[in-house]
Amino acid sequence: MRKIIWTCVALIILALLGWQIYQQIGSQSQEVRRQRKSMPVAVEVAAVRRASVQDVGRYSGTLYPQTAFSVAPKIAGRLEKIYVHIGDEVRAGQLVAALDDAEYRQQVSQAQAELEVAQANLIEQQNMLADAKREYDRAVALREKKIIPETQLDEALSDLKSQEAKLKVAVARVSQSEAAMQVANVRLEYTRIQVPENNDPVHRVVGERFVDEGAMLAPNTAIISVIDIGRLIAAIHVIERDYPKMKIGLRATITTDAYPDRLFSGRIIRIAPILKEKSREARIEIGINNPEKLLKPGMFVRVQIQFEKRDNVIVVPIAAIIKRNNAQGVFLVSPDDKTAAFTPVTVGIVNTEIAEIREPIINGNVIILGQHLLEDGAPVIISKK
CATH number at residue 354: 2.40.420.20
Q: Tell me whether strands 251-256 and 259-271 are parallel, antiparallel or unpaired.
A: antiparallel
Those residues whose C-beta lies under 8 Å from the C-beta of residue 11, and which sit 6 or more positions away, are: none
The count of structural domains within the chain is: 4
> Of 265, 303, 299, 298, which is closest to residue 284 (Cα–Cα)?
303
Q: Is 363 exposed, middle or buried (0-12, 13-18, 19+ CB in 10 A)?
A: exposed
**3 within some domain:** no
pLDDT number for residue 79: 94
SS3 call for 119: helix
Give percent above pLDDT 90 in the chain: 55
- 188-220 per-position pLDDT tens digit: 999 999 998 766 566 789 999 999 999 999 999
**240 within some domain:** yes
pTM: 0.66
CB 365 within 8 A of CB 45: yes
The CATH number of the domain holding residue 198 is 2.40.50.100
Whole-angstrom distance, CA of residue 80 vs CA of residue 358: 72
CA separation (Å) from 68 to 38, 232, 360?
72, 11, 54
Q: Are residues 158 and 217 in the same domain?
A: no
Whole-angstrom distance, CA of residue 227 vs CA of residue 34: 74
Helix ranges, 39-71 (H): none
SS3 call for 1: coil
Q: Are residues 378 and 256 in the same domain?
A: no
> Of 248, 314, 246, which is closest to residue 282 (Cα–Cα)?
246
Whole-angstrom distance, CA of residue 222 vs CA of residue 176: 33
- 123-176 per-position pLDDT tens digit: 999 999 898 898 888 888 887 877 778 888 788 888 889 888 988 999 999 999
Q: Are residues 299 and 334 in the same domain?
A: no
Whole-angstrom distance, CA of residue 291 vs CA of residue 172: 56
pLDDT band at 42 (very low <50, low <70, confident <90, very high): confident
- 98-120 per-position pLDDT tens digit: 999 999 999 999 999 999 999 99
CB 223 within 8 A of CB 73: yes
| Helix (H), strand (E) at residue 270 | strand 259-271
SS3 call for 198: coil
Q: Are residues 340 and 201 in the same domain?
A: no
Domain of residue 220 covers: 67-100+192-227
Q: Are residues 221 and 337 in the same domain?
A: no
